[in-house]
Amino acid sequence: WMTMPQFIDIFTISQMTPGPIGINAATFVGTKVAGLPGAIAATVGFVFPSVFIVLALAKLFFKYGDIGPIRGILNGLRPAVVALICSAGLSFVMLALWNTETLPKDFTKVDLLGCIVLPISLWCIRHKVSVIRTLCMSGVLGLILGIAGIR
Protein backbone atom coordinates (compact mmCIF):
# COMPACT_ATOMS: atom_id res chain seq x y z
CA TRP A 1 0.00 0.00 0.00
CA MET A 2 1.18 3.58 -0.47
CA THR A 3 1.24 6.64 1.72
CA MET A 4 -0.58 9.87 0.85
CA PRO A 5 2.66 11.68 -0.15
CA GLN A 6 3.53 8.79 -2.49
CA PHE A 7 0.01 8.90 -3.94
CA ILE A 8 0.25 12.66 -4.53
CA ASP A 9 3.65 12.22 -6.20
CA ILE A 10 2.32 9.52 -8.51
CA PHE A 11 -0.86 11.52 -9.16
CA THR A 12 1.25 14.56 -10.08
CA ILE A 13 3.23 12.53 -12.59
CA SER A 14 0.08 10.90 -13.97
CA GLN A 15 -1.48 14.28 -14.78
CA MET A 16 0.97 14.61 -17.68
CA THR A 17 -0.97 12.05 -19.69
CA PRO A 18 -3.45 13.35 -22.27
CA GLY A 19 -7.07 13.79 -21.33
CA PRO A 20 -10.19 12.32 -22.93
CA ILE A 21 -10.96 15.34 -25.14
CA GLY A 22 -7.59 15.09 -26.87
CA ILE A 23 -7.88 11.35 -27.40
CA ASN A 24 -11.42 11.71 -28.74
CA ALA A 25 -10.33 14.48 -31.10
CA ALA A 26 -7.37 12.45 -32.37
CA THR A 27 -9.57 9.40 -32.94
CA PHE A 28 -12.21 11.50 -34.71
CA VAL A 29 -9.70 13.21 -37.01
CA GLY A 30 -7.97 9.90 -37.73
CA THR A 31 -11.31 8.36 -38.68
CA LYS A 32 -12.18 11.27 -40.97
CA VAL A 33 -8.79 11.21 -42.69
CA ALA A 34 -8.13 7.47 -43.08
CA GLY A 35 -10.98 5.44 -41.57
CA LEU A 36 -10.33 2.81 -38.90
CA PRO A 37 -6.57 2.52 -39.55
CA GLY A 38 -6.31 6.32 -39.29
CA ALA A 39 -8.24 6.32 -36.02
CA ILE A 40 -5.92 3.70 -34.55
CA ALA A 41 -2.79 5.47 -35.80
CA ALA A 42 -3.93 8.88 -34.56
CA THR A 43 -4.92 7.56 -31.14
CA VAL A 44 -1.67 5.65 -30.66
CA GLY A 45 0.32 8.61 -31.99
CA PHE A 46 -1.45 10.91 -29.54
CA VAL A 47 -1.09 8.69 -26.48
CA PHE A 48 2.32 7.07 -27.00
CA PRO A 49 4.58 10.11 -26.45
CA SER A 50 2.91 10.98 -23.14
CA VAL A 51 2.92 7.38 -21.96
CA PHE A 52 6.60 7.05 -22.85
CA ILE A 53 7.50 10.29 -21.05
CA VAL A 54 5.48 9.38 -17.94
CA LEU A 55 7.02 5.90 -17.80
CA ALA A 56 10.50 7.39 -18.10
CA LEU A 57 9.74 9.96 -15.39
CA ALA A 58 8.23 7.29 -13.13
CA LYS A 59 11.35 5.16 -13.52
CA LEU A 60 13.53 8.16 -12.69
CA PHE A 61 11.27 9.01 -9.73
CA PHE A 62 11.52 5.53 -8.24
CA LYS A 63 15.27 5.47 -8.82
CA TYR A 64 16.16 9.02 -7.72
CA GLY A 65 13.07 10.14 -5.75
CA ASP A 66 14.87 10.22 -2.41
CA ILE A 67 17.56 12.66 -3.57
CA GLY A 68 17.20 16.02 -1.81
CA PRO A 69 16.60 18.32 -4.80
CA ILE A 70 14.12 15.89 -6.40
CA ARG A 71 12.28 15.55 -3.08
CA GLY A 72 12.24 19.37 -2.85
CA ILE A 73 10.73 19.68 -6.34
CA LEU A 74 8.02 17.16 -5.53
CA ASN A 75 7.31 18.82 -2.18
CA GLY A 76 6.93 22.11 -4.05
CA LEU A 77 4.53 20.56 -6.56
CA ARG A 78 2.22 19.05 -3.93
CA PRO A 79 0.49 22.31 -2.94
CA ALA A 80 -0.03 23.18 -6.61
CA VAL A 81 -1.63 19.78 -7.27
CA VAL A 82 -3.90 20.18 -4.23
CA ALA A 83 -4.86 23.69 -5.45
CA LEU A 84 -5.71 22.31 -8.92
CA ILE A 85 -7.85 19.55 -7.40
CA CYS A 86 -9.61 22.04 -5.09
CA SER A 87 -10.21 24.41 -7.99
CA ALA A 88 -11.80 21.63 -10.03
CA GLY A 89 -13.86 20.57 -7.01
CA LEU A 90 -15.11 24.12 -6.44
CA SER A 91 -16.02 24.41 -10.13
CA PHE A 92 -18.05 21.21 -9.85
CA VAL A 93 -19.80 22.43 -6.68
CA MET A 94 -20.70 25.73 -8.35
CA LEU A 95 -21.91 23.84 -11.41
CA ALA A 96 -24.04 21.54 -9.23
CA LEU A 97 -25.54 24.31 -7.10
CA TRP A 98 -25.70 27.33 -9.44
CA ASN A 99 -25.32 25.84 -12.94
CA THR A 100 -22.17 27.88 -13.57
CA GLU A 101 -18.46 27.10 -13.33
CA THR A 102 -17.61 30.62 -12.17
CA LEU A 103 -18.83 32.59 -9.19
CA PRO A 104 -22.56 33.14 -9.60
CA LYS A 105 -23.84 36.70 -9.88
CA ASP A 106 -26.80 35.89 -7.65
CA PHE A 107 -26.12 33.39 -4.87
CA THR A 108 -29.83 33.18 -4.05
CA LYS A 109 -30.67 31.45 -7.36
CA VAL A 110 -29.53 28.05 -6.16
CA ASP A 111 -30.51 24.78 -7.84
CA LEU A 112 -32.64 22.92 -5.30
CA LEU A 113 -32.00 19.58 -7.01
CA GLY A 114 -28.25 20.11 -6.61
CA CYS A 115 -28.70 21.09 -2.96
CA ILE A 116 -30.41 17.75 -2.34
CA VAL A 117 -28.25 15.42 -4.45
CA LEU A 118 -24.80 16.92 -3.63
CA PRO A 119 -24.79 16.30 0.15
CA ILE A 120 -26.31 12.85 -0.27
CA SER A 121 -23.59 11.96 -2.81
CA LEU A 122 -20.85 13.34 -0.56
CA TRP A 123 -22.23 11.29 2.33
CA CYS A 124 -22.24 8.15 0.16
CA ILE A 125 -18.65 8.67 -0.96
CA ARG A 126 -17.53 9.47 2.59
CA HIS A 127 -19.12 6.24 3.83
CA LYS A 128 -17.38 4.09 1.20
CA VAL A 129 -20.35 3.55 -1.13
CA SER A 130 -18.85 2.73 -4.53
CA VAL A 131 -18.55 5.59 -6.98
CA ILE A 132 -20.55 3.73 -9.63
CA ARG A 133 -23.37 3.01 -7.19
CA THR A 134 -23.31 6.64 -5.99
CA LEU A 135 -23.52 7.92 -9.58
CA CYS A 136 -26.40 5.58 -10.39
CA MET A 137 -28.29 6.48 -7.23
CA SER A 138 -27.71 10.21 -7.88
CA GLY A 139 -29.05 9.85 -11.41
CA VAL A 140 -32.14 8.00 -10.23
CA LEU A 141 -32.69 10.55 -7.43
CA GLY A 142 -32.29 13.39 -9.95
CA LEU A 143 -34.79 11.74 -12.26
CA ILE A 144 -37.33 11.23 -9.46
CA LEU A 145 -36.92 14.77 -8.11
CA GLY A 146 -37.03 16.19 -11.66
CA ILE A 147 -40.29 14.35 -12.39
CA ALA A 148 -41.62 15.63 -9.06
CA GLY A 149 -40.89 19.17 -10.29
CA ILE A 150 -38.02 19.97 -7.92
CA ARG A 151 -35.51 22.10 -9.82
- The secondary structure of the chain as a DSSP string is ---HHHHHHHHHHHTTS--HHHHHHHHHHHHHHHHHHHHHHHHHHHHHHHHHHHHHHHHHHHHHTTSHHHHHHHHHHHHHHHHHHHHHHHHHHHHHHHS-SS--S-TT---HHHHHHHHHHHHHHHTT--HHHHHHHHHHHHHHHHHTT--
pLDDT per position as a tens digit, 44-88: 999 899 889 989 988 988 888 788 888 888 889 899 989 999 998
pTM above 0.75, yes or no: no
What are the residue boundaries of the structural domains of the chain, listed by start? 1-64
pLDDT per position as a tens digit, 132-145: 999 999 999 999 99
